[in-house]
C-alpha cells in the first residue's frame, strides 16, 4: 500500500468529524429528539442522514449564516420533517452546543506528533470563530499549535464549496510559500472535503472514524488517496514517511 509523499508540507484538516467528535457531540445535544425517534422506530443513522442533508441545504442557501444559527435552524427543520415535538430553547441549546463537543481521544497527541515532524497544521472548517476557540483548547492541549485557521465565517461560504479550498490554497501560497501539490487534505467527510478537494487538485487522507454518517454515507464517487482508521494510525505512517 502506498503512503503519502514526504514532500507534503501542510495538512489541511477538517475539524468536526475528524478531530472533534461531531456526531457524538451532536447526539448529546439532540437527546430530546432522539428519544422520540426511538419511539417511532426510526434509526439513528437515518435521522443523522436527514439532519446532514438539512444542514447542508441551509449552508448552501445562507452561506454567511453563522454556524450556531445553522445548527438551531437545522434542529427546527429536522424536528418538523419527522413531526417531532420541540421547543425553541432546545433549538438554541443545540446551536450553542459546539463548546461541549469532545475531541477524539487520539487527536491532540497525533497533532503534536505531526507538527513535531515539521508539518504545518491548517484548519479548514465549517465553523464560526467563537465556537472553534473552545475546540482549539481541546486540540492544542498536548502542545500542538495550528498554523492557520480558515473558518466558514472568515471565508463567507461553507464546504463543499470549491471556493473554500481555493481560499486555503491561495493563502498558504501567499503567507507560507506552500504550493498546491504540497498540501494534503486530512478529513473524515468525503462529501465536504475529500470530494471537493479532489476537484481542485488536492489529494486526501481519509480518517475513517467508526460509525460516521454525515458526509460519509453521502459520498458519491471520488476515492481518497489513502485511508486510516484513526489519527494515531495516520501519525504513525507520517512519522515513518518523514523519518
Cα–Cα distances (Å) from 204 to 45, 94, 135, in that order, read 25, 30, 23
CA distance 160 to 129: 19
Cα–Cα distances (Å) from 98 to 29, 94, 146, in that order, read 9, 8, 19
Q: Which residues belong to the active site?
A: 14
Cell match 454518517: residue?
213
CA distance 193 to 164: 10
Longest CA pairwise span in the chain (Å): 56
Amino acid at each position: 500500500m502506498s503512503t503519502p509523499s514526504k514532500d507534503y508540507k501542510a495538512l489541511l484538516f477538517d475539524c468536526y468529524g475528524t478531530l472533534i467528535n461531531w456526531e457524538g457531540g451532536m447526539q448529546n445535544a439532540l437527546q430530546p429528539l432522539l428519544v422520540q425517534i426511538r419511539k417511532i422506530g426510526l434509526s439513528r443513522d437515518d435521522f443523522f442522514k436527514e439532519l446532514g442533508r438539512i444542514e447542508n441545504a441551509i449552508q448552501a442557501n445562507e452561506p454567511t449564516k453563522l454556524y450556531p444559527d445553522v445548527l438551531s435552524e437545522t434542529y427546527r427543520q429536522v424536528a418538523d420533517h419527522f413531526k417531532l415535538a420541540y421547543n425553541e430553547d432546545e433549538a438554541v441549546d443545540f446551536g450553542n452546543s459546539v463548546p461541549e463537543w469532545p475531541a477524539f481521544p487520539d487527536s491532540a497527541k497525533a497533532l503534536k506528533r505531526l507538527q513535531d515532524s515539521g508539518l504545518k497544521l491548517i484548519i479548514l472548517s465549517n465553523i464560526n470563530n467563537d465556537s472553534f476557540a473552545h475546540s482549539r483548547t481541546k486540540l492544542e492541549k498536548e502542545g500542538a499549535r495550528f498554523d492557520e485557521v480558515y473558518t466558514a465565517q472568515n471565508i463567507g461560504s461553507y464546504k463543499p464549496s470549491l471556493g473554500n479550498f481555493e481560499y486555503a490554497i491561495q493563502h498558504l501560497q501567499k503567507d507560507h510559500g506552500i504550493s498546491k501539490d504540497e498540501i494534503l487534505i486530512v478529513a473524515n467527510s468525503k462529501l465536504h472535503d475529500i470530494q471537493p478537494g479532489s476537484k481542485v487538485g488536492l489529494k486526501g487522507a481519509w480518517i475513517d472514524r467508526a460509525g460516521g454518517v454525515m458526509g460519509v454515507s453521502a459520498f458519491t464517487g471520488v476515492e481518497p488517496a489513502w485511508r486510516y482508521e484513526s489519527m494515531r494510525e495516520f501519525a504513525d505512517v507520517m512519522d515513518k514517511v518523514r523519518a
